[in-house]
Chains A and B, each alone.
Chain A
Amino acid sequence: MSSNKQAYWKANLRLVAGCLVVWFVVSYLFGILLVDVLNTIQIGGYKLGFWFAQQGSIYVFVGLIFFYASRMNKLDRKHDVHED
Chain B
Amino acid sequence: MELQTLTFIVVGLTFALYIGIAIWARASTTSEYYVAGKGIHPIANGMATAADWMSAASFISMAGLIAFKGYDASVYLMGWTGGYVLLAMLLAPYLRKYGKFTVPEFIGDRYYSKAARIVAVICLIVASLTYVIGQMKGIGVAFSRFLEVPFEVGLFAGMSIVFVYAVLGGMKGITYTQIAQYCVLIFAYTVPAVFISLQLTGNPIPQLGLGSTMADGSGMYLLDKLDLVLTDLGFAAYTVQKGTTINMFLLTMSLMIGTAGLPHVIIRFFTVPKVKDARVSAGWALVFIAILYTTAPAIGAMARLNLMNTIQTGEIGSAEGNLAYDERPAWFTNWEKTGLLKYEDKNDDGRVQYYNDKNKAFSDKMAADAGWSGNEMVKVDRDIMVLANPEISNLPNWVIALVAAGGIAAALSTAAGLLLAIASSISHDLLKGVFRPDITEKQELTASRVAMAGAILVAGYFGLNPPGFAAQVVALAFGLAASSLFPALMMGVFVKRINRAGAIAGMLSGLGSTLVYIFWYKGWFFFPGTEMMANTPDNWILGISPEAFGAVGALINFVVAWSVSNVTEEPPEHIQHMVEDIRVPGNIGTPSGH
Map CB proximity to B onto A42-84 as digits: 1 under 8 Å, 0 otherwise: 0111110011011101110110111011001100100111111
Asked whether A55 and B294 contact (CB < 8 A) given A65-B85, A69-B280, the answer is yes
- Which residue of A1, A5, A23, A81 contacts B82 across the interface (Cβ within 8 Å)? A23
Tell me which residues across on chain B come within 8 A of A5, comparing CB atoms: 580, 583-584, 589-590
Bound: A65/B287 CA distance, A:
10
Q: Please, which residues of chain B bring their CB within 8 A of the CB of A53?
A: 71, 74, 77-78
Residues of B within 8 A of A54 (CB): 66, 71, 74, 77, 294, 297
Give chain A interface residues in 1-39, CB to chain B under 8 Å: 1-2, 4-5, 8-9, 12, 16, 19-20, 23, 27-28, 31-33, 35-36, 39
B586 touches A69 (CB 8 A): no
Interface stretch (choices B159-167, B217-225, B347-355):
B217-225
The answer for the CA separation of A26 and B74 in the assembled complex, in Å, is 13
- Number of B interface residues in the complex (CB < 8 A): 50
**Count of chain A residues near B, Cβ 8 A:** 48
**Are A76 and B283 in contact (CB-based, < 8 A)?**
no
B585 contacts partner chain A, Cβ-Cβ < 8 Å? yes
Contact call A83/B275, Cβ cutoff below 8 A: yes
Q: A1-B580, A44-B221 are in contact. Are A58 and B586 (CB under 8 A)?
A: no
B residues less than 8 Å from A16 (CB atoms): 89-90
Q: Are B279 and A9 in touch, CB under 8 angstroms?
A: no
Interface of A is mostly: helix
Q: Which of B550-591 contact A (CB under 8 A)?
A: 580, 583-586, 588-590
B residues less than 8 Å from A36 (CB atoms): 241
Contact B294 A58, beta carbon cutoff 8 Å = yes
Stretch of B134-142, B147-155, B245-253, B376-384 contacting A (4+ beta carbons < 8 Å): B245-253
Interface, chain A (partner B; CB < 8 A):
1-2, 4-5, 8-9, 12, 16, 19-20, 23, 27-28, 31-33, 35-36, 39, 43-47, 50-51, 53-55, 57-59, 61-62, 64-66, 68-69, 72-73, 76, 79-84
What are the nearest 9 A-B pairs in CB distance? A45-B221, A53-B74, A65-B283, A69-B279, A45-B211, A54-B297, A46-B211, A44-B211, A69-B280
**A-B pairs with beta carbons under 8 Å apart, 19 shown:** A12-B583, A27-B78, A28-B252, A39-B239, A43-B211, A45-B221, A45-B224, A46-B223, A50-B239, A58-B78, A62-B290, A64-B85, A65-B279, A66-B283, A69-B279, A69-B283, A72-B276, A81-B586, A83-B276
